[in-house]
Amino acid sequence: MAKSQKLAEQVKDDFTKADLSPRERRIADFAVKVTRVPNACSPADLQLLREVGLKDKDILSLVQIVAYYNLSTRLFESLSTVDR
């Protein structure tokens, strides 16, 4: 199995146990937080992303991608168009 395929499987199974770089892990942790408890996000979370090299425009893009994915997933699931 190619490294990227193995990583994709690890992330799918449990991203917290996947072989992610510190940057990738910080991004994944933030994406989960935005998804589960968006009102708990704080300037400290943004600073953690900056510490691994994200610029403000990158953080904005990340939040937009996560928000769009969450919106579309909820729309599709609520309309029962997603295979279960």
Domain range summary for the chain, segments of one domain joined by +: 3-78
DSSP label of 83: -
Within 13 A of 23's CA, how many CA atoms are on the CB side? 9
Exposure of 42 by Cβ count < 10 A (0-12 exposed, 13-18 middle, 19+ buried)? Answer: exposed
Q: Is the pLDDT of residue 82 over 60?
A: no
Question: What Cα–Cα distance (Å) separates residue 40 from each residue in 29, 33, 83?
Answer: 13, 8, 31
* Residue-wise pLDDT tens digits, 3-46: 688 888 888 888 898 889 999 999 999 999 999 999 999 999 99
Q: Crossing angle, helix 56-78 and helix 43-51, to 10 degrees? A: 120
Question: What does CATH list as the number for 3-78?
Answer: 1.20.1290.10
